[in-house]
Each structure stands twice: as structure tokens, then as C-alpha cells.
Structure 1
Amino acid sequence: MKNPSFGQLLRDPTMLLAFGFGSGLSPRAPGTFGTLAAIPFWWLLADLSPGWYLGLVIVSALVGCYLCGAAAEKLGVHDHGGIVWDEFVGYWLTMFMAPAGWGWALYGFVLFRIFDIAKPPPIRWADQKVHGGVGIMLDDILAGIFAALVLQLTALFIV
């Protein structure tokens, strides 16, 4: 199953989640579409206390290690472009304690995509050296942390 259909995703909950409810099926820029699909879920999480928010993101990251690893195994491809659960978690990390508003949501989106695509060290190292579900998740977790730091520094000087 190199390129699953939406029907195949619906029959397999692991694949459905790993492919971001179908957002990873985009033929172009699936990571970007996966990150876009994460925004409405972030909007639901945004009003949680920082402890609950971070707890849910950590659980999502741990579950993501399994989901992404299982999906990669089913596809026979390490870090298939359509696996975007890691983008969901990376974006949610970016937006941890972010100021409210669509402008900040968009800024976080742009920052996360820049770090996820450019993969500066140590993100590139994690992407190249860590394998399996943890490896698929780790580079996006690091990209989310880097993006969150930039977002928070920006907020510190603007808000």
C-alpha cells in the first residue's frame, strides 16, 4: 500500500490518524496540508490550561510514535510524505501558550513550516539518524519547539 486511498484510510484507524484524517493524501505539499488540518484542533485545545494542553500534546506525541511507525511499516516506506500526525503535534507544540488570534495561528503555521522544511541542526540530525516512529516524530517535535521559541520571543516584544 504505497499510496492509500481515502477509503483505505477510513477502514484503518491507525492510517486515518497517521494521515491526518486524510490531509496527508494531498499530492502536493502533504506536510503543509497536514499542518493546516492541525489548526482547527489547536483552536479546540487553545483554551485549556497550560498543564492540560501540554499533557495532551505529550500524549499525542507518544501515540504518534506508534501511529507513525505502524503506518510506515504498513506502507513499507520510512516517513512517507503522507504521514502527517507528526505535523499535527509539531504545530501544537509551536502554539503552546501562544497569544490568541488568527494572526498568531498563521505566524505559528509559517514558523513551524520553515523549521520543518529547512531542518536546521539538530532537526536535520534527528531526521537522518533516528528511525521508526520516534524518528518520524522527533524532527517535527524539534521543529515545533524551535518555532515555539521564536513565536514566544516575538510575542514578548510585540504584546
Structure 2
Amino acid sequence: MYFHFGEGIEHIRYQPSLSLSLAGKAGELCLKARRSALFIAIATEPVIVMKNSVFLLLLMIIPLNAEAYIYGGSNLGYSGYPSHDCNEPVKPFNPYSFTSQWEIDSYNAQVKNYNSQLQDYIACLEEYTDNANNDIKRIQEKAREAIDDKNYW
């Protein structure tokens, strides 16, 4: 990626993931570094380099690398990672015989209730696993930040 600034600086090239910090006089290669980016400026006049150093400094302050932000719930607590607290559905009681309409209707109501509880249980487990995946992403992002900090120094 090249930026053109007109008189004084021929071009500035952005190269990600390099780390150098050098400066030169007029006509020499001037390198300005930021944590994950390297700006290379070929200067023709030292005065222009000083004026554009402020601009380069502002460019270096602006975060250029993409940060991952994880949205969603979390299960992570103060005392470690909790188990799910979803209520398991209660299986319907199988009657001894289906001789009366009341037993059949009662069993059908229990099956309907069980199916409803099962859907709630599955939804609860899905929410728990989604939150767990969000926590994993957050942990991985923090680990990447720590690695970037370590590589910077």
C-alpha cells in the first residue's frame, strides 16, 4: 500500500508485521515503526521529514490492526468455569396398562410436558455452549494480545 504526499516525500509504504525504528537525513530512507506496522518514507528535504513526522506519529497512534471483539454472553465466573445448570426433563411415567381413556389422556399430557421440557433443556444447553464458545474466543484474543506484546518488546 503506497501513500503519495507530494513534495518532500516521494512515497510512504505500509508493511504489516515488521518492526524497525530508524531515521535518516534528506535523500536517505526514513523508517518509522509501530507495533505491527512499518512506514517507509523516502525524503528529499529534512524540513519536510520533520513536518511529516507529526503526520507519521498520528498514523502510528491510530490502531491499524483489526481487533476482534466478541459479543454475546459468558459463563466465566469468579470461581472457575461452571457446569451447566439446565434442568433435565422428567421422563413420563409409563402406566401399567392403557385400559382407560383417563390413563391414555394422562400419559399424553405427560409426553407433551416432557417434549416441552426437552425443548427448553436443548435451548439451555445450546445457550451454554454458545457462551462457552464466546469465552474461548475471548481467551484466544487475550492470548494473541499477550503474544503481540511479547513480540513487540
Band of TM-score, shorter chain: under 0.3
Higher strand share: 2
- What TM-score do the two structures reach when normalised by structure 2? 0.23
- What TM-score do the two structures reach when normalised by structure 1? 0.23
Higher helix share: 1
